[in-house]
Chain A
């Protein structure tokens, strides 16, 4: 089948790269050819692929190969990083009006999933103690109003409708008015699916926009969309000025390249993904997951992860040795701190750590990224000697460090105390089980 063949070709190409010590321009070119095919097979628009490949090729050629990665892995690593970056940050937040009600318009092609998504979003907000109102603005498709009414009943959210004989602009306007009058704080306007080239129907959306001044205009896009996704997104964006995208039907086996296409041509954040027909099948968008899904090189990415883990393990072993020999310093501390901060949002990482929940004193741990930045600043204000021999840091040195790092003496004191505690804790941990668990635990000794 189509992309199994591709995957094989890719593996073959990578194997070739793996054997070599250094990655040359020709190697990158070959790897990028496979990347190009993978992206096209994932339905990323071919122009978007072209731009992307050109950009990444440039970056990959100039790159130094990381110690524990082969050149081929290095290229894929760069591709994956760029893809993730292009997809944007995590964006599951809606823009709420400073003065309620917040008005959200749902737009898109026929059959994209606007009505279902409206219901899911309303349900989502209801759980956050908001008072949503659904407005039935699709007067064209048979029983579309009925569909919304049934969904509204299921999630216990009221639906405003004027039947299918009234103009959608009027329906939208009166729906918003009802929200104002009755204290609903979010209004979802469901609209009929339409072709992006249907001028009359696009005009109707513009008229609704004009009339109700929405805070969000969300384009609902079927994740299975092919090359045409760029035309659709471009038109809707040009006509309406989109504020975000919801990607639907991601529970299927599509690679979902449309996500990249839409993002590339509109620049709009993908705010949510829909993953099923039930009302709670709505998730925040994870650019990294989407990137590896589109790239479809799961095994290669796992390999890279493993390589990186091996590297971490080597470092961990070194740290352990230092611990045992009591030579662990603030320099090591800093290195650890930076390594950990590079790994992503801390609370999330911590949540995934086995054993953290049980470790005494680590329960209910609040991780404050800003706090970490201050810790880093403090250590950076130490002299090399102080970092190596924390014992010499007396009161006047502490005052100097506090000044230099823009913190307080109390904070410096606390850190030094934590450092001592940490050493004790590390000792404790090195007595715990073996393998990955232990290694990962050691990534966070300063906590």
Chain B
């Protein structure tokens, strides 16, 4: 086993407790089929063109995308040549290493870049139905339990019932929600929320926005306006702009990331619905092409179904050998 893998494994087993359990059990379904396919492949022993092709297909099946998959496999080929690798069983950890290199930055980026004191503002953006409002509820719960004073802004004035949805979350978590009437100007809601947050001595303001397809120019302009209002009120705001992506989404997620990034300067991704069977591999391509890191993952609909993204675990669960993963998942390893 390569040194890299040892490190991965160590880091995984170090992080014990329910957090890891949950994260990995969410990814479990994601990676079993992938692992099964991998195991079949490496058992063949010989490295040949078919093997590379099938590896490429495995990545494609995980929604990594054709271009990035081909690129990854090309890199793998290169490494195999350079390191004079002969055993097919060594390809899997090597591919994991290559993916990890893309996903994990040298210097650690905090999951939330908050101000030490004073008000921090987080803006949530994304297409319709990806889980923005739910994520806000979950994150509010988390921040509150860390002792922070949290306020929510009902910036989705468009979708029917959206304001009420956020209000229900506010009640669940026990934080206030600043809202206007349905159909109102979202920028005005955000403005009011900032004022309220300032006067109430809030630590973190979480701003919901209406889902919008990135291809709708006028709606993207509306979002830019929201951002401008934030910036005008607090010069270094928003402190995070989180793009919420549904793990079920295919290649279109790249377009979403690109255009939202250009419009409002996305600082991180929340990858939701990883509790399903979708693999969310597109985040590898997004990190590779746009250098936007994944910061959080959604693993369900409940309040505590939000976890910090652990690149190493993500990769480990995707590419680790079946035995390793089994142990990690069942917690039978010390």
A positions within 8 Å CB-CB of B: 1-3, 5-6, 37, 40-43, 45-46, 109-113, 140-151, 154, 195-197, 222, 224-229, 231-232, 249, 251-255, 257-258, 277
Contacts and interface: CB of A to CB of B under 8 A. Distances in A.
B161 A222 contact: no
**Which 10 pairs from chain A and chain B are nearest by CB?**
A226-B250, A111-B129, A147-B161, A43-B250, A142-B168, A150-B160, A143-B164, A143-B165, A146-B161, A228-B278
Interface in B30-68: 57, 60-63, 65-67
Nearest to B161: A147
A110 B211 CA distance: 14
Nearest to B137: A142
Contacts of B67: 2, 5-6, 41
B159 interface: yes
Nearest to A197: B277
A141 B57 contact: no
B252 A224 contact: yes
Contacts of A1: 254, 258
21 contacts: A2-B67, A6-B67, A40-B60, A41-B65, A109-B276, A111-B246, A141-B165, A143-B162, A146-B164, A148-B161, A151-B160, A195-B275, A197-B277, A224-B250, A226-B63, A227-B60, A227-B278, A228-B278, A232-B248, A253-B215, A254-B250
A226 B275 contact: no
Interface of B: 29, 57, 60-63, 65-67, 127-131, 137, 158-162, 164-165, 167-169, 172, 182, 213-216, 246, 248-255, 258, 273, 275-279, 282, 285, 301
Contacts of A3: 251
Nearest to A45: B61
A110 B131 contact: yes
Contacts of A151: 160
Given A141-B165, A226-B251, A277 B66 contact: no
A113 B129 contact: yes
A45 B161 CA distance: 34
A197 B29 contact: yes
Contacts of A231: 277
Contacts, number: 155
A187 to B, nearest CB: 20
Nearest to A192: B301
B165 A249 contact: no
A220 to B, nearest CB: 10
Nearest to B251: A43
Contacts of A277: 128, 158-159
A174 B29 CA distance: 37
Given A41-B251, A252-B214, A252-B252, A111 B131 contact: yes
B298 to A, nearest CB: 10
Nearest to B63: A226
A110 B250 contact: no
B279 A227 contact: yes
Contact of B250 (A143, A148, A195, A227): A227
B43 to A, nearest CB: 21
B160 A147 contact: yes
**DSSP class of A's interface residues: helix, strand, loop or mixed?**
loop
Contacts of B250: 43, 224-227, 229, 254, 257-258
A101 B195 CA distance: 52
A46 B61 contact: yes
Residue from A5, A228, A229 whose CB has the most chain B CB atoms within 10 Å: A228
Contacts of A258: 250
Given A37-B66, A111-B130, A226-B253, 15 more contacts: A2-B66, A2-B67, A43-B252, A111-B131, A113-B129, A142-B169, A142-B172, A150-B182, A222-B129, A224-B252, A227-B63, A227-B250, A228-B63, A254-B251, A277-B128
Contacts of A148: 160-161
A141 B251 CA distance: 27
Contact of A227 (B62, B128, B159, B182): B62
A42 B67 CA distance: 12
B331 to A, nearest CB: 22
A75 B168 CA distance: 56
B164 A142 contact: yes
B248 A222 contact: yes
Residue from B214, B250, B255, B258 whose CB has the most chain A CB atoms within 10 Å: B250
A387 B164 CA distance: 74
A195 B282 CA distance: 20
A40 B68 CA distance: 12
B129 A110 contact: yes
Contacts of B252: 43, 224, 252-255
Given A226-B63, A253-B252, A258-B250, A142 B129 contact: no
B255 A6 contact: no
A2 to B, nearest CB: 5
Contacts of B29: 197
A253 B255 contact: yes
Nearest to B57: A46
A249 B126 CA distance: 13
Contacts of B164: 142-143, 146
A252 B160 CA distance: 20
A134 B72 CA distance: 49
B279 A228 contact: yes
Given A111-B130, A196-B277, A222-B248, A252 B213 contact: yes
B160 A146 contact: yes
